[in-house]
């Protein structure tokens, strides 16, 4: 492939300014790991030395990765040329499982001034149809589609990205970014993460740490032959008068999620077994497993509401021989009339549904995540009961144990540009470059005094990344635009030292009497927005900052059931959000110290299909403190509840 100013029909097969892949791949062993033969042209038709695995030239550096092979390209050509090269590479060799990414895109803005005409030419040409969709521009001129690439399906993507640009003078940054993602948009999609109960979370636990964009690194591609972890066993016994167990219940909990109690994932199975060691005849008639969900109140352990119930018959006398229950045909199945004696082992499996119905059958709802919290009056708990029944006038034996239910629910995928940024380990574009990927809150007015005498009146607009559903242990991307007619005020407000944006958790319980507890559980960190620097170059009274709210790994997911609900909402504190408190900007004193606006969001436990969100910054070791914020949350915090004595 070449990069040149030569028109398409006169383009030589090899350009003196470009590079070309000669033998695009070669097999290396039974594992089908692909190598590369890469050449750099010094003179037309005279390639330099090359290697099938790794090459380092002054104008081309790439690193070969096995397994989902990726080639990361960076050359001393301008960054727009790198983007075009990546697009050509993806179109030529994407069907071979080989992809290319133009790295170091952060400096692409330095080329905009001299490339402005080229970018406008690209847009006008593609929009009017004068240029084919495969013809783009680099800093020198046209980068034409290779003959091999023309036969592949990269053409529609190029057209779409070109047509998303605008003719506004401020569109050059967006246009450059559109060119940058042409190649990335053609990368082969990695398979979506597995959420199989036995494998998905095990893989997630072994996955890479969050990527922080202070240093852009290639994604790690590794092969794993490790077998899924074995389920974690939990055993419970019934003992006789001599302290010897005669009944042992074993539950197989999730190997990673289970700690002190067995934990299961929704839509999976509760599996286990029952072992009986009966030293004397026992007139057992049936063995049943009950699964129940309760709403509990800490102040009164006897006050609870059952919202979920399942029943599984493990064995009954009508099923025949307990050592082979139900194995005979329907016509030959005989009722077991003898007493049980000796050793027996019975296995069982219970499907956990996604939805449940209220006792009256009028309400259908998702099963909630197990919930216990010191700040709440109530809790959501699940119990499993084993009941060994002996019939009328005889006592039954029971084993009751709590277990955890883990609701694994992913959010919807983010915008296409955000997905491309996550795959490339770069920061996501802001609302000015990716308007479809952001939700704008209602603007708020910030009023106050600067230096004790200058009146401040600014409009602040906060943006949250779509969809408004986020995975715990990641972050909530956010952005803010500050508009004022005073450039000094704009600078002061844009350099805020406080979080301004808070994630607050609100726990309400109206079981018995109403109780509400509101507390902060995250705050934003900010940095200047690079993608908006040129968007408002001619307007000195607008400032744009980007940020994110880090979500703790132990956050409870959003839950709502009957009179009990857990809500996570993004609170705009400071002067542009609900629980927004004044920014701790130097010499600025706001008139308002309370929240302006809130935006409800949802916290979930799973990752979006096909892409995993990445944080842009390292979580702060210590969150900043703001006396106004602390005072506000003290005023809305509910009374501390007493802990429960026992379960149901």
Spatial CA neighbour of 111 closest among 133, 85, 140, 131: 140
Q: Phi, psi (5° rounding) for residue 568?
A: -115, 125
Spatial CA neighbour of 175 closest among 104, 102, 115: 115
Mean per-residue pLDDT of the chain: 66
pLDDT on residue 625: 74
228: Cβ contacts below 8 Å, ≥ 6 apart? 198, 199, 202, 255
Question: Residue 107: helix, strand or coil by DSSP?
Answer: helix
How many helices and strands in the chain, by DSSP H and E?
9, 32
With 0-12 / 13-18 / 19 or more C-beta atoms within 10 angstroms meaning exposed / middle / buried, residue 554 is exposed
- Say if CB 357 and CB 339 are below 8 A apart: no
pLDDT on residue 465: 93
Q: Indicate if the pLDDT at residue 146 is higher than 70.
A: no
**What is the reported pTM?**
0.63
DSSP tag of 583: -
- The H or E element containing residue 79 is helix 79-93
Q: Which domains does the chain have, with CATH numbers?
A: 8-185 (no CATH), 232-406 (2.60.40.640), 416-636 (2.60.40.640)
CA–CA gap between residue 174 and residue 431 (Å, rounded): 11
Q: Within 13 Å, how many C-alpha atoms sit on residue 259's CB side?
A: 3
Q: Indicate if the pLDDT at residue 563 is higher than 90.
A: no
- Say if CB 404 and CB 264 are below 8 A apart: yes
CA–CA gap between residue 42 and residue 229 (Å, rounded): 54
CA–CA gap between residue 562 and residue 371 (Å, rounded): 14
- Say if CB 444 and CB 463 are below 8 A apart: no
pLDDT on residue 624: 73
pLDDT on residue 517: 78
pLDDT on residue 30: 32
Residue 507's pLDDT band (boundaries 50, 70, 90)? confident
Proportion of the chain above pLDDT 90, given as a percent: 21
pLDDT on residue 109: 41
If you search the block for the tokens 């007139």, which residue do you land on? 283
pLDDT on residue 290: 97
Question: Residue 499: helix, strand or coil by DSSP?
Answer: coil
- The H or E element containing residue 264 is strand 263-265
**Beta-bridge partners for 465:** 438
DSSP tag of 105: G
Q: Crossing angle of helices 172-185/155-163, nearest 10°?
A: 160
Spatial CA neighbour of 581 closest among 500, 645, 463: 500
If you search the block for the tokens 């050592």, which residue do you land on? 323
**Beta-bridge partners for 73:** 102
pLDDT digits (tens, 9 = 90+) for 286-345: 999 999 998 887 666 666 778 889 999 999 988 888 887 766 555 556 788 888 999 999
b/e per residue, 620-647, with b = 16+ CB within 10 A?
Answer: eeeeeebebbeebbeeeebeebeebeee
Residue 209's pLDDT band (boundaries 50, 70, 90)? very low
CA–CA gap between residue 341 and residue 347 (Å, rounded): 18
Of the spans 52-66, 356-370, 574-588, which averages the highest pLDDT?
356-370
Residue 170, token pair as written in the block: 């401020």
With 0-12 / 13-18 / 19 or more C-beta atoms within 10 angstroms meaning exposed / middle / buried, residue 191 is exposed
Spatial CA neighbour of 496 closest among 527, 532, 536, 452: 527
- Say if CB 495 and CB 585 are below 8 A apart: yes
Q: Indicate if the pLDDT at residue 410 is higher than 50.
A: yes
Rounded to 5, what percent of the chain is helix, strand, coil?
A: 20, 35, 45
Least confident residue range of 344-348, 373-377, 453-457, 523-527 = 373-377
Residue 201, token pair as written in the block: 């979370």
- Say if CB 138 and CB 78 are below 8 A apart: yes
pLDDT digits (tens, 9 = 90+) for 92-108: 555 544 444 443 333 44
State how far Cα 617 lies from the chain centre: 16
Residue 576, token pair as written in the block: 């542009």
Q: Which has the higher per-residue pLDDT, 45 or 519?
A: 519
Q: What is the DSSP string of 340-396?
A: EEEEEEEEEEEEPPSEEE-TTS--EEEPPPPB--TT-SEEEEEEEEEEEE--TTS--
b/e per residue, 252-270, with b = 16+ CB within 10 A?
Answer: bbbbbbbeeebbbbbbbeb
pLDDT digits (tens, 9 = 90+) for 212-251: 433 333 333 344 455 678 999 999 999 988 899 999 999 9
Can you say whether residue 342 is alpha, beta or left, with left for phi > 0 and alpha for psi between -120 and 50 degrees?
left
pLDDT on residue 52: 32
Q: Pairing state of beta strands 99-102 and 70-73?
A: parallel
Least confident residue range of 69-78, 593-602, 606-615 = 69-78
Q: Indicate if the pLDDT at residue 366 is higher than 80.
A: yes
CA–CA gap between residue 541 and residue 492 (Å, rounded): 11
pLDDT digits (tens, 9 = 90+) for 260-282: 999 999 999 999 999 999 999 99
pLDDT on residue 570: 37
CA–CA gap between residue 398 and residue 385 (Å, rounded): 7
Q: State the average pLDDT over residues 198-205.
A: 37
202: Cβ contacts below 8 Å, ≥ 6 apart? 228, 229, 255, 256
Residue 4, token pair as written in the block: 């040149």
Question: Residue 578: helix, strand or coil by DSSP?
Answer: coil
Residue 423, token pair as written in the block: 């795959």
pLDDT on residue 466: 92
Tally of residues, the chain:
648
Residue 458's pLDDT band (boundaries 50, 70, 90)? confident
Q: Which has the higher per-residue pLDDT, 37 or 599?
A: 599
Residue 484's pLDDT band (boundaries 50, 70, 90)? confident
pLDDT on residue 330: 53
Q: State the average pLDDT over residues 476-504.
A: 83
- Taking CB atoms within 8 Å and a gap of at least 24, the contacts of 163-168 are 163/126, 163/127, 165/119, 165/122, 165/123, 166/123, 167/120, 167/123, 167/124
387 vs 133, 240, 284, CA distance in Å?
70, 16, 11
Residue 386's pLDDT band (boundaries 50, 70, 90)? very high
Residue 456's pLDDT band (boundaries 50, 70, 90)? confident
Q: State the average pLDDT over residues 441-448.
A: 85
Q: Which has the higher per-residue pLDDT, 68 or 16?
A: 68
Question: Residue 169: helix, strand or coil by DSSP?
Answer: helix
């Amino acid at each position: 492939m070449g990069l040149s100013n030569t028109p398409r029909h006169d383009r030589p097969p090899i350009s003196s300014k470009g590079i070309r892949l000669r033998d695009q791949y070669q097999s290396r062993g039974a594992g089908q790991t692909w190598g590369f033969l890469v050449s750099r042209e010094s003179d037309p038709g005279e390639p330099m030395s090359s290697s099938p695995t790794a090459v380092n030239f002054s104008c081309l550096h790439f690193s070969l990765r096995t397994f989902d092979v990726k080639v990361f390209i960076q050359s001393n050509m301008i960054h727009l040329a790198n983007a075009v090269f990546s697009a050509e590479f993806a179109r030529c060799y994407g069907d071979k499982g080989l992809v290319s990414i133009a790295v170091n895109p952060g400096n692409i803005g330095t080329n905009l001034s001299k490339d402005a005409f080229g970018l406008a030419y690209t847009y006008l040409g593609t929009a009017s149809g004068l240029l084919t969709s495969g013809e783009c521009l680099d800093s020198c001129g046209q980068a034409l589609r290779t003959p091999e690439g023309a036969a592949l399906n990269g053409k529609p993507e190029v057209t779409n990205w070109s047509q998303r640009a605008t003719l506004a003078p401020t569109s050059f940054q967006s246009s450059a970014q559109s060119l940058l993602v042409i190649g990335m948009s053609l990368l082969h999609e990695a398979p979506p993460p597995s959420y199989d109960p036995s494998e998905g979370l095990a893989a997630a636990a072994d996955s890479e740490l969050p990527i922080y964009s202070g240093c852009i690194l290639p994604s790690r591609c590794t092969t794993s032959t490790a077998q899924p972890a074995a389920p974690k066993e939990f055993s419970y016994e019934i003992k006789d008068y001599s302290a010897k167990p005669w009944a042992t219940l074993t539950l197989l909990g999730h190997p990673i999620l289970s700690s002190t109690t067995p934990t299961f994932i929704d839509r999976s199975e509760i599996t286990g077994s029952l072992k009986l060691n009966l030293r004397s005849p026992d007139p057992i008639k049936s063995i049943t497993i009950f699964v129940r969900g309760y709403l509990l109140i800490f102040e009164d352990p006897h006050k609870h509401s059952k919202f979920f119930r399942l029943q599984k018959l493990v064995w009954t006398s009508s099923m025949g021989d307990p050592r082979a229950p139900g194995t005979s045909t329907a016509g030959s199945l005989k009722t077991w009339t003898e007493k049980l004696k000796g050793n027996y082992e019975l296995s069982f499996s219970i499907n956990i549904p996604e939805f449940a119905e209220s006792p009256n059958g009028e309400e259908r709802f998702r099963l909630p995540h197990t919930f216990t919290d010191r700040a709440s009056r109530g809790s959501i708990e699940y119990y499993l009961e084993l009941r060994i029944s002996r019939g009328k006038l005889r006592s039954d034996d029971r084993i009751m144990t709590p277990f955890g239910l883990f609701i694994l629910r992913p959010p919807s995928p983010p915008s296409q540009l955000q997905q491309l940024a996550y795959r490339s380990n770069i920061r996501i574009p802001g609302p000015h470059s990716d308007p479809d990927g952001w939700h704008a809150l209602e603007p708020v007015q910030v009023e106050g005094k600067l230096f004790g005498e200058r009146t401040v009146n600014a409009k602040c607009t906060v943006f949250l990344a779509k969809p408004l559903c986020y995975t715990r242990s990641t972050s909530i991307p956010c952005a803010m635009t500050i508009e004022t007619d005073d450039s000094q005020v704009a600078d002061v407000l844009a350099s805020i030292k406080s979080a301004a944006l808070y994630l607050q958790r609100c726990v309400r319980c109206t079981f018995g009497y109403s109780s509400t507890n509101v507390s902060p559980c995250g705050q934003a960190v900010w940095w200047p927005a690079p993608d908006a620097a040129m968007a408002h170059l001619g307007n000195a009274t607008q400032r744009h900052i980007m940020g994110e709210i880090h979500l703790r790994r132990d956050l409870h997911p959003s839950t709502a059931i009957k009179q009990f609900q857990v809500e996570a909402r993004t609170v705009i504190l400071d002067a542009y959000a609900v629980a927004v408190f004044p920014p701790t900007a130097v010499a600025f004193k706001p008139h308002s110290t309370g929240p302006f606006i809130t935006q409800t969001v949802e916290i979930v436990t799973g990752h979006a299909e096909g892409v995993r969100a990445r944080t842009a910054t390292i979580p702060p070791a210590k969150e900043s403190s703001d006396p106004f914020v602390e005072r506000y949350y003290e005023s809305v915090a509910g009374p501390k509840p007493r802990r429960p004595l026992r379960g149901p």
